[in-house]
Amino acid sequence: MTASSPSHWSSAVSDITPEDVYVRGYPIQSLMGSLPFSAITYLVVRSRLPTPGEARMMDIILSSILDYGLQKAGTVAARAVVSVNPQMTAGLGAGVLAAGENAMSPEQAGRFISDTCKSWKQSGQPMEAASKQLVSELRAAGRRVPGFGHPVFRGVDPRAEKLRIAAVETGVWGEANEWYAAIHAAFRAATNKPDLVLNDVGMLAGIMTQMGFTPQEMAGIAILSTFPGLIAHISEELRSGVRNRIIADQNVDYARARHDLALDMKARGWSE
């Protein structure tokens, strides 16, 4: 049986003995209370202890998305589900599915940063020249750069700025961030949009790339940040007394076509 046999499994996340559970090689009883949960999150996902700086950065990352009221599709989905099926797990199941290409996930930006950073380093080109060339290629191909732009903020996205400062202070800031910032500068110049921000999702992606997370792990961590909010919203919904969330008719355009079944069946060749 090989490592990729579909009924044989390998894992280095944790293992169990009769006395304890070993998480990434550390007894869980020694972890509890010795390291903050955010540091343990880093350990569990990245498979090594963080430095205090990395642990602090991780904590700030986990605190950076949190919640977005009813302007977040995952919250709408989670609450709709429990209005009918009043189970915490069911609401959480729906809520975590609502992160992806269109919102709430640094995965696309993370993939862009790590892929282009790798190509640049293989090329041996200076950063500035390479970033300018990449931007011009992307624009020629009509491709957008994930992580740029914001509906409200111009110049600087304050949350992104806070993340950037934290990354510098905690010693996490590095090459991947510099590379992404260079693309940002090149993009601003090439499009003549000096106010276009590097937004919070882009900044998160850059920092997590530098911290060694894969793009898919970044999606998981972003969802983890919103998990307390999902719990709170589901709990709020369960207390609300609403049974079966719906969209009011005035907020829906229904086509309201009317057809005659017997007539149409005949026309389609259905005999009596």
Q: What residues from 4 to 33 belong to the interface with a second copy (CB under 8 A)?
A: 4-16, 18-33
When the beta carbons of 89 and 119 are compared against a second copy, the nearer one is 89
Give the separation between CA 17 and CA 38, rounded to whole angstroms: 25
When the beta carbons of 124 and 243 are compared against a second copy, the nearer one is 243
Give the separation between CA 85 and CA 64, rounded to whole angstroms: 30
Written as one letter, the residue type at 43 is L
Give the separation between CA 48 and CA 242, rounded to whole angstroms: 45
Give the separation between CA 55 and CA 39, rounded to whole angstroms: 5
Give the separation between CA 15 and CA 150, rounded to whole angstroms: 44
Give the nearest distance from C-beta 109 to a second copy in angstroms: 15
When the beta carbons of 96 and 186 are compared against a second copy, the nearer one is 96
Stretch that binds a second copy, among 132-140, 180-188, 204-212, 217-225 (CB under 8 A): 217-225
When the beta carbons of 30 and 136 are compared against a second copy, the nearer one is 30
Contacting residue, 196, 201, 204, 230, with a second copy by CB under 8 A: 230
Contacting residue, 122, 124, 141, 261, with a second copy by CB under 8 A: 261
Q: Does 189 bind a second copy (CB under 8 A)?
A: no
Give the separation between CA 209 and CA 135, rounded to whole angstroms: 20
Give the separation between CA 91 and CA 259, rounded to whole angstroms: 37
When the beta carbons of 65 and 182 are compared against a second copy, the nearer one is 65
Report 90-149 residues binding a second copy (CB under 8 A). 90-94, 96-105, 107
**How many residues make contact with a second copy (CB under 8 A)?**
138
Instruction: Give the contacts of 54 (CB within 8 A, at least 6 positions apart).
Output: 39, 42, 170, 171, 172, 211
Give the separation between CA 225 and CA 64, rounded to whole angstroms: 7
Report 147-186 residues binding a second copy (CB under 8 A). 152, 158-159, 162-163, 166
Question: Is the four-CA dihedral 29, 32, 35, 41 of positive or negative sign?
Answer: positive
How far, rounded to the nearest angstrom, does the alpha carbon of residue 8 sit from its chain's CA centroid? 30
Give the separation between CA 263 and CA 270, rounded to whole angstroms: 10
Give the nearest distance from C-beta 17 to a second copy in angstroms: 9
When the beta carbons of 192 and 252 are compared against a second copy, the nearer one is 252
Distance from the first to the final alpha carbon of the chain: 59
When the beta carbons of 80 and 186 are compared against a second copy, the nearer one is 80
Stretch that binds a second copy, among 116-124, 181-189, 191-199, 245-253 (CB under 8 A): 245-253
Find tokens 């540091």 and name the residue. Answer: 39
Contacting residue, 122, 155, 258, 272, with a second copy by CB under 8 A: 258
When the beta carbons of 181 and 242 are compared against a second copy, the nearer one is 242
Contacting residue, 124, 142, 155, 269, with a second copy by CB under 8 A: 269
Give the nearest distance from C-beta 260 to a second copy in angstroms: 8
